[in-house]
Structure 1
Amino acid sequence: MSLQPVASSIAQCPLCHRPVRGTVEACPHCGAERHFGPTWRESLTCVAIGLAIGPAAIVLAGAGWRMAALAGAIGVMLGFFVAHSRHAGDRWMPPRG
C-alpha cells in the first residue's frame, strides 16, 4: 500500500505551472519565490508619491509651507498604508536576475 499525497498539500507554481508543495517558499523548478507584503521598492514608491502629492496640493491651494510640511507627513503615512494594504497577502515573484 503506497501513501498518496493529500491533494490540498500540492499546489501549482503560478509562473511555471509545475506542481509544488503548498508550503514551499521557492519553486524548485523555476526559482520563483513566495513573497509576503510589499517589497522595499513598492514601499518607497508609495511613500515618495505621498510625499510629493500632499505638499504639492497644499502649496497649489495657497495654504502655506507649514501646512505643506504637515501634508507631506500625512502623505508619507498614507503612502506607507497604501503599500501595505495593497500588497497585504502573499504572492509569487519571479526569480531575481
Structure 2
Amino acid sequence: MKPGPLPRLTRSAATRLDSTPQSLPPRSMSACPCCHQPLQNTASVCPHCRAEKHYGPVKREVLLSSLCGLALVLGLTRLLFPQLFAPFSPWLILLMLAGLAVGFIFAQFRFAGDRWLHLHKD
C-alpha cells in the first residue's frame, strides 16, 4: 500500500501546533525633543506634549523670509540706484520679484530637515 499525501493544515492550525512562544521584537523608542517623554521613532505627533514633526519650513517662515528678502532688495536698490524710484521703473518689479524669490529659497535651505514644533498651544 502506497502512502497518500499528507493532509494540508491551514495557517492558523499550523501555528497552533507550534508550542514555542515567539517574543515580539522590541519597539524602537526615543525621547521626545520637546518634553523628553518616551516616543516611538516612527511617530509624527508626540502624545504627551502634542508637538508635531515637520520637514521644511512652515507657512509663516516662508512668508517672513520672502518679505525680508523683498525689503532687503528694495533697501539696497534705494541706496544704490535711487533713480529707479523717481519715475516708477519696470526694472523695479523684476527686482521685487527677485527679492521674493531669494527670500523663498533662503527659507527652503534654512528650515530644511526634520524639526519638532509646538504649533498648537493648549
Distance 1:86 1:52 in 2: 18
Match 2:70 to one of 33, 40, 51: 51
Deviation track 1:27-67 (CA, whole Å, cap 9, x = no partner) reads: 11111111111110000000001111112211221251443
Structure 1-normalised TM-score? Answer: 0.85
Distance 2:45 2:104 in 1: 27
Q: Which range is displaced more, 54-63 or 23-32?
A: 54-63
- Pairs aligned (count): 95
Give structure 1 stretches of 5+ with no counterpart.
none
Distance 2:91 2:78 in 1: 8
Report sequence identity in percent: 39
* Matches for 1:6-85 after TM superposition, within 5 Å: 6=27, 9-62=28-81, 64=84, 65-85=89-109
2:26 maps to 1:5: yes
Larger radius of gyration: 2
Q: Which range is displaced more, 53-62 or 63-72?
A: 63-72
How far the C-alpha of 1:4 sits from its partner, in A, is: 5.0
Q: 1:95 to 1:81 in 2, by over 3 A?
A: closer
Give structure 2 stretches of 5+ with no counterpart.
1-20
Deviation track 1:4-34 (CA, whole Å, cap 9, x = no partner) reads: 515xx21210111011100101011111111
How far the C-alpha of 1:70 sits from its partner, in A, is: 2.1
After superposition, the CA RMSD in angstroms is: 1.7
2:110 maps to 1:86: yes
